[in-house]
Amino acid sequence: MKKALEIAKKLSVSHLDIFCAPKHFDIYASENVLRELRDLADSLNMSLSLKAPAFTQNIASFNDYVRDLALKQYKRCIDLCAYLECAFTTIRAGIFFYEERRKMAFALKQLVENMNNILLYASKAGVNVLVENYYLPMDVVKRTRDLQRFVTFFSHFENFGIALNMAHLINVREKVSRVMHDKKVLEKIRAVYLGPPPTPWDTEYDLSKMDLVVKMTKQLFPKLRDRTWIVASIDSEIAKKLIRILREFR
């Protein structure tokens, strides 16, 4: 993590989003490690945020073990955010597999209750929680209409927000204009993940869609200029290219 902060500083980046997954970061790191991270970020004048584990975590699951583990890890990320003085933590809203889809009303009720639980916990800690759109068929939040529903459910929480993932939006063939034309959704977007589809967290990029990424960013950037733009890619050259593009728009 120390190396990541130093590289970010060399690139003149002012914010670092920490992916809470091995080998990037251990959410159960010792207090000494966390203190060192916080002090280094302060010395570099760099703000931080946390991207919570998202691969199997599901607060909508009917499986008690999966649901309870997700809640435990999300709350741990909230605690870390408070300690590290992070701007926010980003979470995956939930996944409706076959059983949840079969009993949709109950699954949605459970999801809302658990989100309320998370947001209340975060509010007491002074932490913002952002919900990210994903792209798999079973994800609860994929398209603008899903973001609209979450804004309706949770906008009364001041610490609730949206982390818009541009690559995921492209992957579900959603036009960014739909997001731009919804004022309530726009107001809740506090961060934008910018990277190549189908997902910035993978290695199998569809580079043929990079022009579309740039085009959509150019459309959206003027409306969200003052939000946190996070370049997400495990390919350093792609990351550098996207950083240059953002600076041109600025």
Q: Check which CATH number belongs to the domain holding 126 and give it.
A: 3.20.20.150
Quick one: pLDDT at residue 206? 85
Quick one: pLDDT at residue 92? 94
Work out the average pLDDT over 14-28: 88
Is the model's pLDDT at 236 over the cut of 80?
Answer: yes
Quickly tell me which residue has 């370049």 as its tokens: 231
Is the model's pLDDT at 207 over the cut of 90?
Answer: no
Q: List all residues 6 or more positions away from 26 whose beta carbon is below 8 Å from its beta carbon.
A: 33
- CB-based contact 134:92 (threshold 8 Å): yes
Indicate the number of domains in the chain: 1
Work out the average pLDDT over 6-10: 85
Quick one: pLDDT at residue 6? 84
Tell if the pTM clears 0.85, that is, is over it: yes
Binned at pLDDT 50, 70 and 90, residue 233 comes out as confident
Binned at pLDDT 50, 70 and 90, residue 204 comes out as confident
Binned at pLDDT 50, 70 and 90, residue 135 comes out as very high
DSSP state of 111: H
Quick one: pLDDT at residue 250? 76
Quick one: pLDDT at residue 54? 80
Is the model's pLDDT at 79 over the cut of 90?
Answer: yes
Work out the average pLDDT over 93-115: 91
Is the model's pLDDT at 192 over the cut of 80?
Answer: yes
Is the model's pLDDT at 117 over the cut of 90?
Answer: yes
The residue range of the domain holding 53 is: 2-249
Work out the average pLDDT over 10-37: 89
CA distance 227 to 38: 22
Rounded (5°) CA angle 239-243-245: 115
CA distance 57 to 70: 5
CA distance 128 to 33: 23
